Amino acid sequence: MTLKIRSKTSLYKPDTVIIAGAGPGAVDLMTVRCQRAIVEAEIIVYAGSLVNPEVLKFSSSECEIHDSAEMTLDKMVEVMVAGIRSGKKVLRLHTGDPAMYGAISEQINALAEAGIKVEIIPGVSSVFAAAARIGAELTLPEVTQTVILSRRAGRTPVPERESIPELARHQATMALFLSVAAISDLVAELLEGGYAQTTPVAVVYRATWPDEKVVSGNLADIADRIEQAGIGRQAMILVGNALSRKGALSRLYADEFGHGYRPAGVK
Ligand SMILES: C[S@@+](CC[C@H](N)C(=O)[O-])C[C@H]1O[C@@H](n2cnc3c(N)ncnc32)[C@H](O)[C@@H]1O
């Protein structure tokens, strides 16, 4: 996959680190802008535990590359600040979209203390990559119009009002990050919150990577299926009746419903 990128203006501004989402895994699911940022970068700090290292092949041979999986926050900030102070183009690469569980606020705050700004390039989050892999619409008319993006508490605590049973009471579609290691406990909490045993669930392990696995089932059987598949990390869990695709038709394309782009009654 090659994209010819011709742009005379640099993406990089003085005293500004670019934070970019590199997408869920497949190299061609990174945005064109993220690819441009990689091409131009002189220092890259990438989240090596989840970002596909293949994306780094777009970097220049002189680019200095650091894997943040081996670094503390202080060390990362030290590298980024030193890079900016020596006039380099510094890129921080996250997996998916940086806004979801990217721990970017602490980086932005620490950089701000050093007088450095950030600019963010969004990416394709694993939630949407996983939905695409299972062919799901997460918002199905008359079933749910809401998606809850959340996680079980782990090393990072979750406020009690956002516990899984509390969120499950909405019966919306839930997209759960960082939770597959405790799938049995998660299922018990979803049931406690009111989902039926028959509620569809899909677990997508490493969506869009070559070793991707998709395991589908319902709340009654998903924990066993996940154990059999040997999935214990790096998976997106999608739960809810929208996955059944049994909802009402949307009004957007209904014959009798007109709008600015199509009058009502036109077949
Ligand atoms: C630290 S969070 C980062 C999420 C990321 N910012 C995003 O938008 O997808 C890591 C978690 O995201 C989910 N995840 C990230 N990449 C994934 C992928 N390719 N397939 C499935 N889940 C993924 C998993 O739940 C994983 O434990």
For residue range 1-48, list pLDDT tens digits in order. Answer: 555 555 679 999 999 999 999 999 999 999 999 999 999 999 999 999
Question: From the CB of 126, is ligand 1 less than 6 Å away?
Answer: yes
Locus of tokens 């596909």: 52
CA 71 to centroid of ligand 1, rounded, Å: 19
Does residue 3 fall inside a structural domain?
no
**112 occurs within a structural domain:** yes
Q: Is 114 inside any structural domain? A: yes
Q: Evaluate whether residue 174 is within a structural domain.
A: yes
> What separation in Å is there between the alpha carbon of 8 and the centre of ligand 1?
34
**Structural domain ending residue among the three candidates 73, 94, 124:** 124
pTM flag (> 0.75) = yes
Q: Is 50 in the pocket of ligand 1 (CB under 6 A)?
A: yes
On whether both 224 and 158 belong to a single domain, the answer is yes
Report CA(266)–ligand 1 centroid distance (Å): 43
CA distance 16 to 14: 5
Question: Do residue 100 and residue 139 come from a single domain?
Answer: no
Q: Is 192 exposed, middle or buried (0-12, 13-18, 19+ CB in 10 A)?
A: middle
- Residue 214: name the closest of 139, 133, 145, 141 by CA: 133
47 and 134 share one domain? no
Residue 1's pLDDT is: 52
Q: Counting atoms of ligand 1 from 1, which one is nearest the CA of 237? A: 25
User: Which of 124, 151, 177 for a ligand 1 pocket mutation test, highest count of atoms within 8 Å of Cβ?
Assistant: 177
Residues 118 and 159 in one domain: no
- Which domain, by its residues, includes 240? 127-244
pLDDT, one tens digit for every residue, the chain (267 residues): 555 555 679 999 999 999 999 999 999 999 999 999 999 999 999 999 999 999 999 999 999 999 999 999 999 999 999 999 999 999 999 999 999 999 999 999 999 999 999 999 999 999 999 999 999 999 999 999 999 999 999 888 999 999 999 999 999 999 999 999 999 999 999 999 999 999 999 999 999 999 999 999 999 999 999 999 999 999 999 999 999 988 777 777 777 778 888 888 877
Q: Could you tell me if 221 and 146 lie in one domain?
A: yes
CATH code for the domain in which residue 118 is found: 3.40.1010.10
165 lines ligand 1 (CB under 6 A): no
Does 267 reside within a domain?
no
C-alpha of residue 19 to centroid of ligand 1, in Å: 17
Residues 231 and 142 in one domain: yes
Q: Into how many domains does the chain fold?
A: 2
Which atom of ligand 1 lies at the shortest distance from residue 212's CA?
Answer: 20
Q: Is residue 197 part of a domain?
A: yes
Atom of ligand 1 nearest to the CA of 176: 25
Last residue of a domain, one of 82, 104, 124: 124
Q: Which of 96, 124, 152 is the last residue of a domain?
A: 124
Cα–Cα distance for residue pair 208/206, rounded to 1 Å: 6
Give yes or no: residues 216 and 148 share one domain.
Answer: yes
Question: Is there an atom of ligand 1 within 6 Å of 100 CB?
Answer: yes
Do residue 183 and residue 98 come from a single domain? Answer: no
Same domain, 181 and 78: no
Residue appearing with tokens 């721990």: 103
Same domain? 222 vs 184:
yes
Residue 44 lies in a domain: yes
